[in-house]
Structures are given as C-alpha cells and as structure tokens.
Amino acid sequence: MYTVRKVTDDLYWVGANEHRLALFENIHPLTKGVSYNSYLLLDKKTVLFDTVDWAVCRQFLENVEHVLAGRKLDYLVINHLEPDHAASIDEIMVRYPETILISNERAFMQMRQFGFNIDDRYIQIEEGDTFSFGDHVVTFVYAPMVHWPEAMVTFDTTNGVLFSADAFGSFNSLDGVLFADEIDFDRDWLDEARRYLTNIVGKYGPQIQALLGKAGPVLPAVKFICPLHGPVWRKDFGYIIEKYDKWSRYEPEVKGVLIIYASMYGNTESAAINLASKLREKGVKDVVVHDVSNTHVSWLISETFKYSHVVLASVTYNLGIYPLIHNYLQDMKALNLQKRTFAVIQNGTWAPKSGDLIREFLDKELKEITVLQDELTIISSLNEEKEADVDSLVDSIIESMKE
C-alpha cells in the first residue's frame, strides 16, 4: 500500500522507512530505524529527487506510481550517490524508460563505477546551472564531502524548497511524520540527529561550514528543507542551522562533563561514579557517565560532540589502553574531534600505564584540546588515601569550566 505525504501542493514525500536494518552503513546501531526520503514534484514535467535504499524499494515504487497517477516520469535528479539513496536508480530507469537523469559529472562517474545502466539518458549539470521543469526553476549547489565528493543540493527557486541531501538528516524512522514541527524534535530526535551527523559527516566539518557559507545568501528564500533522512523543516530553521554550525565547528553544545569509563571488575567504574558524585556535589549540573563496554562508540562520539569536558577513566590492559577506549579514541581522531578539555584517570594493579598512553594519544592526535595536568592514578581500587587526588581533579575540572 502506498504511503505518501504532501510537502507542498505539488511536491510529495515518496520515501520509505527502514525498521529491519540493525546497523546503518553496517556499523552504527539503529534503535528506531531510519527513513530514506525521496520527493516527487508534479510540474509540467514530473521530477523525482533522489531514490531510496534497495531494502525499501518496493514501498518506494508503490509511492511513486501512486503520485504519478499514470503520468510518465520525466526527470530523476540525483543529489547524492551513496547507495542508501541511489540503489534504486536502475529500477526507476527500467520502469520509466523515458526518464532522464540529472546530476553532476562526479555522480555520473560513480554511477558507472557502481555498474548502473545510464546509457545516454542523462543531463550533466554544473554548479550554478538553472533548470526549468515548467513553473519550477531549480539551481544546483555543489556540497562536496557532505557527505561524498559528488554530493550537491538542489534549490527550487520557485517555492523555496531546498533538497539538502544528507545535510540536516537524522536517524529514526518517520512512521507517518513529515515535518519537524509535528514532533518534539529537541526532546525526541536531537540526540539521534547529532549521532547521525557526528558519526556520518563529522569528519567533514569544514565542508559543512563551506556549504552553510554558500547557502547563506539563499537562506532567506528557503521555505522548506528536505533532507534525505529524517523530517522536513518548514520553520525554526535557526534551531537546526545553529546545531549544524556548532557541530561542524566542533564547538560543544553544553558546558558539562562526560565521563567515559572502562572497568573490568567495577573498580574503575566506582572511581568514575565517585568523581561524578563529587562534581555534582560541587554544583556541576551536567554530568553524564557511560560504560565504554556497553555503549556503542557512535553514541560516545555523539556525546563527545555535545559536552565541553571529557573524563576518560581506563584500566590498563595488556600494558596498554583498554581496547574499547582505544577504539573510541581512534574514532575521535577519524571524526576530527577538536576543542575539548580532557581529564584522565588510570587504573592498574601492577603497572598502571593507560593514563599516560591516553594522554600521549590526545596530545599527538587531536587538535585544539586541553588535557588537565591533574591525573588520578588508582592502584587496583580507589581508597580514602586517594580522596585528596579526586578532590583535586574535581577542582581542576571546575576551574577549567570557568574559562
């Protein structure tokens, strides 16, 4: 059965929701699914903007067929070629033999790499070109590395619809929702939007900044932002743009303390919670604690982008950093995390080394960070003799939060 929603009088959401996929990109856990958005414009010409993942192609085809209501599909605009959006291109081209693809040179090159059968049914555009579908005129803006090199956004200058590709997307299936103002986005979606952005495109902050800069002049004319995942924005643009601006500049959203611990038998955990308790006792309102062993690194990354201060508490394992903390550190590096203040707690029963190694990694591999000099070393378990060290670390963190 088709399920479509109207974005405007002549523009329809014809995407689909994915509930059965456990891991997005086969790496990031999905807890509430994800949507693959596609949009169909009924102008004098009919125009589809992007397709969907192969897993939901059947639903998508039903939606497209319903909205077309017997009309042929004239154009398919491809803004982004990652297969979660592009996998169904071939199927559309087979079912609608008169459809002409519209995209850029890099996208067509990638289509050939993926083995798509595009023949000569395509029009190659350049950045800044305009294209009329009848009443609607669109223009194309390249958005390289947001999130692949061929990525672009398409702006409909007639009705102010910005087809923003991966930008402004989010995890979570829509399940009947279309607009962000139909949900409590800040309460129910923001964490998944942050997890999506920071893990998928976090590395490319400068490129997101470049896109925001390019989009700046047209933003006053934007009336709808239609991303390829998650809800459509038709108001409160400032809210989501501010979030994207912060995330892509690697600026924390919250002045608070994120404590991540690795604990084999509960002793490092106990120290982490002792620290959290003392921070709260001294008035720090935002303190969160996560166990690296039962929190997927994609959530840890998202939280790390959120908070200003990060405490890493790790046992020493094979005379090194606990492997899951090491993996988390590697992800921070890969995703270009910057501008944070770190504190370190190390534990070891005969040769505590993890703290020194974490500190070395942070100093060497991350940019624009501060690592507090106060360091807590635990020998097997925290005891009263170390209480002064914990207090000193607490004071040092609080002092650094005043800056």
Give the residues lining the site for ligand FEO (CB under 6 A).
Answer: 80, 82, 84-85, 147-148, 166, 228-229
CA atoms of 310 and 324, how far apart (whole Å)? 16
Give 348's Cβ-side CA count (13 Å radius). 17
Give 178's Cβ-side CA count (13 Å radius). 16
Q: Smaller CB distance to ligand FEO: residue 153 or 315?
A: 153
- Least distance between ligand FEO and beta carbon 110 (Å): 12
Q: What is the DSSP letter of 121?
A: -
Q: Smaller CB distance to ligand FEO: residue 122 or 148?
A: 148
Closest of 258, 263, 291, 293 to residue 354, by C-alpha: 263
Answer whether 94's CB lies under 8 Å from 58's CB: no
Q: Smaller CB distance to ligand FEO: residue 170 or 347?
A: 170
Closest of 166, 142, 169 to residue 154, by C-alpha: 142
Answer whether 339's CB lies under 8 Å from 368's CB: yes
Answer whether 274's CB lies under 8 Å from 390's CB: yes
- Least distance between ligand FEO and beta carbon 327 (Å): 22
- Least distance between ligand FEO and beta carbon 174 (Å): 14
Answer whether 172's CB lies under 8 Å from 35's CB: yes
What's phi and psi for 303, nearest 5 deg?
Answer: -65, -35
Q: Which residues make Cβ contacts (< 8 Å) with residue 336, sequence separation at least 6? A: 202, 203, 204, 205, 250, 367
Q: Smaller CB distance to ligand FEO: residue 107 or 345?
A: 107
Q: Smaller CB distance to ligand FEO: residue 146 or 287?
A: 146
CA atoms of 213 and 218, how far apart (whole Å)? 10
- Least distance between ligand FEO and beta carbon 143 (Å): 11
Closest of 218, 212, 204, 203 to residue 245, by C-alpha: 212
- Least distance between ligand FEO and beta carbon 228 (Å): 5
Q: Smaller CB distance to ligand FEO: residue 34 or 378?
A: 34
- Least distance between ligand FEO and beta carbon 370 (Å): 33
The two structure tokens encoding residue 136: 């609607």
Q: Smaller CB distance to ligand FEO: residue 41 or 87?
A: 87
Answer whether 81's CB lies under 8 Å from 110's CB: yes
Q: What is the DSSP letter of 179?
A: B
- Least distance between ligand FEO and beta carbon 85 (Å): 6
The secondary element (H helix, E strand) that includes residue 5 is strand 5-8
10 Å CB burial of residue 3 (0-12, 13-18, 19+) is middle
Q: Smaller CB distance to ligand FEO: residue 203 or 353?
A: 203
- Least distance between ligand FEO and beta carbon 201 (Å): 8
Q: Smaller CB distance to ligand FEO: residue 78 or 177?
A: 78
Answer whether 152's CB lies under 8 Å from 81's CB: no
Chain residue whose CB lies nearest ligand FEO: 82
- Least distance between ligand FEO and beta carbon 232 (Å): 15
Q: Smaller CB distance to ligand FEO: residue 108 or 322?
A: 108
CA atoms of 128 and 331, how far apart (whole Å)? 35
- Least distance between ligand FEO and beta carbon 18 (Å): 11
Identify the sign of the CA torsion 96, 99, 103, 109. positive
